[in-house]
Amino acid sequence: MTSVNAKQEALLDELLKDYTDPQDILGEHGLLKRLTKRVVERVLEAELTAHLGYARWSRVTATGALPRSLCPSASDAWRASTRRC
């Protein structure tokens, strides 16, 4: 068994140590259902990130640039006449 598998087994053992009733694990609000939900969410988030090329909540746009503000700031007043708000 590799060290990664040993770590995973240890984590699973730690996670399951307090559960004695099968309903706590397999029931409608059981551990398996919650764990499956989390795994599916992570997979979908990773798939979306890979497809878009950037993380969902990052400020970097698809072109790699930071998004522009809608209106110029006070320090950019001299450029206000040349660009739209």
Domain contains 77: no
Average pLDDT along the chain: 80
Q: Which pLDDT belongs to residue 52?
A: 82
Q: Which pLDDT belongs to residue 60?
A: 59
Domain contains 62: no
The pTM of this model reads 0.57
Mean pLDDT of all residues in 9-21: 93
Q: Which pLDDT belongs to residue 42?
A: 95
Q: Which pLDDT belongs to residue 57?
A: 73
Domain contains 74: no
> Quick one: which of 6, 7, 33, 5 has its CA closest to 19?
33
Give residue-wise pLDDT tens across range 48-57. Answer: 988 888 787 7
Domain contains 19: yes
Mean pLDDT of all residues in 39-66: 79
Domain contains 25: yes
- The number of folded domains in the chain is 1
Domain contains 15: yes
